[in-house]
Structure 1
Amino acid sequence: MGEKISGDLFLDITTQLCPLTFVKTKLMVERMAAGQTLEVRLNAGEPLENVPRSLAELGHSILSVVPERPEEPTGVHRLVVRKN
């Protein structure tokens, strides 16, 4: 999950707080076609723990999760998910 992959669509949730981080991501994924990918820009902490886990629980594939700046693992991350 450390490789850099980009998605078909992009969503920045860095200004949102939980649970809105997952709600906004879920709504975007629901509008996508099966097989499409979404790149989500999210903060470390609760969003990074909850959003990928919740998407996987819904049956979607987590393709990658990488920090934007490898030297700042507690900063902003990029998550790429494929809708199944």
Structure 2
Amino acid sequence: MKISLDLRGTPCPINFVRTKIQLEKMSPGELLEVWLDPGEPIEQVPDSLTMEGHQVEKIENQGQFFALFVRKNPQQ
């Protein structure tokens, strides 16, 4: 089951905080799809998640937004 989080229109760092909260609710190794705006959100959130130990698997440009696919750290 894939979990999605629509954070379009959500400013930094709130979008990172909401992504982190969602990941905390998930099981290790589960995949989360996050929709982020261009600019600062897509530039900052993936790096922040990587520093937290999560694995950014893919970033897809959807035109008006980006779809970020992140796998929860299997060690958590």
Q: Same fold (TM over 0.5)?
A: yes
In the alignment, the residues of structure 1 paired with residue 5 and residue 66 of structure 2 have an alpha-carbon distance, to the nearest angstrom, of: 12
Indicate the residue corresponding to 2:50 in structure 1.
56
SS across alignment from 2:34: strand
Structure 2, gaps ≥5 residues long: none
Structure 1, gaps ≥5 residues long: 1-6, 70-74
In the alignment, the residues of structure 2 paired with residue 51 and residue 32 of structure 1 have an alpha-carbon distance, to the nearest angstrom, of: 18
In the alignment, the residues of structure 2 paired with residue 29 and residue 51 of structure 1 have an alpha-carbon distance, to the nearest angstrom, of: 13
Q: Deviations over 1:10-58 (max 9, x none)?
A: 0000021111111111110111100100000001111101110000001
Q: Which amino acid aligns with 1:47?
A: P
Q: Which of 14, 36, 43 does residue 8 from structure 2 map onto?
A: 14
Residue 8 of structure 1 deviates from its aligned partner by: 1.2
SS across alignment from 1:29: helix
What is the alpha-carbon root mean square deviation over aligned residues?
Answer: 1.2
1:40 pairs with 2:29: no
Count of paired positions: 73
In the alignment, the residues of structure 2 paired with residue 50 and residue 31 of structure 1 have an alpha-carbon distance, to the nearest angstrom, of: 22
In the alignment, the residues of structure 2 paired with residue 37 and residue 12 of structure 1 have an alpha-carbon distance, to the nearest angstrom, of: 14
TM-score, structure 1 length as denominator? 0.82
Q: Which amino acid aligns with 2:46?
A: P
TM-score, structure 2 length as denominator? 0.90
